[in-house]
Chain A
């Protein structure tokens, strides 16, 4: 999370979550949930963002519904928030689709188009008209005008104009989505097509109104903790970069929340690294030209929904979460397992894996800590019983997965040529498609794919800034033993 407009919408989402959790901890959950929009915007309060206090409350009501884990499609606008709160308590299984759009938070931005501004000088040469291949430009006598029925939004007129008088407007969510899954509907508001959506959450970060929203499972998780069930936290390696405390204090924070045990998903990352190195060796021996990594949930969804042709090249190694959950379920067969995640995309993986019950994002974890008044920096220090390797700890950095495969590699080191796809956008997807269709990748042979630019430490549900997180994760990594040197001592 950098200093971008999204900070303001993230703060709003977090405040709503904190209030939901506080309400859950109180003796009147339903009523206190009902009051959230009024507590946040009481009578006579300032109206910081919207047209009036009523609109502010309506949007906050929607955020509360999503925070309780429901889709906006479920809202008939006449159900009380207290009823939603009760429904959340009764729910046996969380929602399948991770994301929803809060229609009343959506501005219904103007459609993406190319637009001639008043800076147009109506020049004699008219390079814009000459540049256009679709005959979409004309002059109305004062300035150039674009016929939107003909315009293909190629942008050639923009580059041709010597005054930079032509601009392209975008719809932030549509522009951010790498797979065209979010688009304005006939009513002008954004809708997500779940058949296409890979849950990467780029729309959530892109929308300056905070309309796309994750459906939280936090109440489901806290419910199990309150009931005294054995609930186990498995946290992603990126978390170390997103808490203001030492890595050794992380366990204490989870235990204070009420989790009964804490596992580092880095433990499973060690297994992923070794399995992937072995898999890669076999593939190279068989003459396969390249292999891609398989741990990014956004990428795995992309392969399933949009890029099946690359499937034969995707490593068969399972994700670090998969192996960790397997270990946890072996050691605690009756436990409720929760993955602590930097992103929403993992929701699909959690849903499909019977060993994992729920997902709590870093944002939600932060909200729980605040609601429960836990000062993590003051917690006691405890080492993990399993010491994860340097490479496993750095799995969350762009390049980290490739480095782990290199460290676990047994054989000629020069045989591995990593290619980093650092952020899945339309261009990256086009490249992947080309590799799959031609069966060639000129840049290298081990393609590491990370959906978020910077790696999992830049996930869309993270708390801190990427630069700081990178430093903390690397520091923690450097305290660990490398897979290269530890390989022999560990039980493979």
Chain B
């Protein structure tokens, strides 16, 4: 099975809108899913660029899906549904 890629945006907008806390899942995810999941922080997913898209930051990319207004709970839910497919 291919690894599931998670990209957490660490751009200014995502950080200010509460993205810092999402990085904290790295350790628990690694512990729980080992190398089935690969987490990286990326400079900017460019999701916030259009007119008022900043309001739905932070953004997280998981294997083709973009999560807006992301928080730990949402990211873990999407991750689990992808893993259980």
Contact = CB atoms under 8 A, between A and B. Distances in A.
Contact of B21 (A40, A366, A376, A465): A465
B61 interface: no
28 contacts: A1-B20, A2-B21, A3-B24, A7-B21, A10-B18, A14-B16, A14-B17, A18-B54, A40-B55, A243-B12, A243-B15, A244-B11, A244-B15, A369-B16, A370-B13, A370-B16, A370-B17, A370-B54, A375-B12, A375-B43, A376-B12, A377-B12, A377-B44, A463-B15, A465-B21, A465-B24, A468-B23, A468-B24
Contacts of A11: 17-18, 69
Contacts of A463: 15-16, 20
Contacts of B10: 244, 377
Given A14-B17, A370-B17, A374-B12, 11 more contacts: A11-B17, A18-B54, A244-B10, A244-B20, A369-B16, A377-B10, A377-B11, A377-B12, A378-B43, A463-B20, A464-B15
Question: For the side of the interface on A, what is the size category?
Answer: 20 to 34
Contacts of A10: 18
B83 interface: no
A467 interface: yes
Interface of B: 10-13, 15-18, 20-21, 23-24, 43-44, 48, 52, 54-55, 69, 71-72
Contacts of A7: 18, 21, 71
Interface in A234-283: 243-244
Given A244-B11, A378-B43, A366 B20 contact: no
Interface in A25-48: 39-40
A472 to B, nearest CB: 10
Nearest to A377: B43
A303 B69 CA distance: 41
A425 interface: no
A15 interface: yes
Nearest to B15: A244
Q: Which 10 A-B pairs have the closest CB atoms?
A: A366-B16, A464-B20, A244-B15, A244-B10, A3-B21, A465-B20, A15-B55, A370-B13, A465-B21, A369-B12
A39 B18 CA distance: 21
Contacts, number: 68
B19 to A, nearest CB: 8
A367 interface: yes
Contacts of A376: 12
Given A11-B17, A369-B16, A39 B11 contact: no
B12 A3 contact: no
B12 A370 contact: yes
A425 B55 CA distance: 34
Nearest to B52: A39
Given A14-B16, A367-B16, A375 B11 contact: yes
Contacts of A244: 10-12, 15, 20
Contacts of A367: 16
Contacts of B54: 15, 18, 370
A11 B18 CA distance: 7
Among B10, B12, B18, B44, max chain A CB count under 10 A is at B12
Contacts of A374: 12
Given A244-B10, A378-B43, A467-B24, A1 B18 contact: yes
A457 to B, nearest CB: 12
Contacts of B16: 14, 363, 366-367, 369-370, 463
A282 to B, nearest CB: 43
A11 B16 CA distance: 9
